[in-house]
Amino acid sequence: MTEVIVKDLGINQDYEQTWIKMRDFTMNRLDSDNDQVWLLEHPPVYTLGQAGKPEHILNPKSIPIVKTDRGGQVTYHGPGQIVIYLLINLDNYDLNIKSFVCKLEQACINCLDDFGITAHRIEGAPGIYVDNKKICSIGLRVKKGCTYHGIAFNADMDLSPFKGINPCGYKDLEMTQFRDLDKDEKITMENLKSSLLNKIFSELKIN
């Protein structure tokens, strides 16, 4: 297995430019290229998945809309949301896309459990929920056996733009975030990012 390269790209990363970069990396990568994980935050943007239905965008106001090639419907990205893009060759981990998504979900559940927050799945609706409110969305694309896109974890953000859409195509789906669930209130964004990444690596058995 090749070494995994982790890149913390920071905040305010333009969605379209980042999407083009990870798509180009995936389409041009060789079998010998290292897998990569990118951590970042986007400025406000709605993204509509490959099979996304525009009618799920209810009131975008001034927030831009980008039609992208990941799976899933519409979601919102914005400051205070931890985005982790996973540029992974599934053969390196003997996984298919379904088992890969399962491991990502379990990593998020384990991360929240460490902070005393009980999270769960909902059958047929990928992502992670706390009391049936969504805290983490997962959307991926696979090309040449390699993934790109990834997870969006609501950490400490303005959730109101989610009211302008049917999140992930579900009417009246409520969203939540770590800040509103964290009883300790001492966990920083850096702590949370580190914990999420460690749990993902643990699920994938990456040292």
Distance, in Å, from the CA atom of 47 to the CA atom of 75, rounded to the nearest integer, reads 6
CB within 8 Å of 121: residues ≥ 6 apart: 105, 109, 127, 128, 129
Q: Measured between alpha carbons, how far is residue 136 from residues 17, 43, 152 in Å?
A: 23, 17, 6
Please enumerate, as own/partner, the contacts of 144-147 that have beta carbons within 8 Å and a separation of 24 or more. Answer: 144/26, 144/27, 144/29, 145/89, 145/90, 145/91, 146/26, 146/29, 146/87, 146/88, 146/89, 146/90, 147/26, 147/86, 147/87, 147/88, 147/90, 147/97, 147/100
CB hemisphere CA count around 87 (13 angstroms): 27
Classify 45 as helix, strand or coil: strand
Answer yes or no: 168 catalytic.
yes
Which candidate, 7, 1, 3, places its Cα nearest to that of 197?
7
Residues involved in catalysis:
168
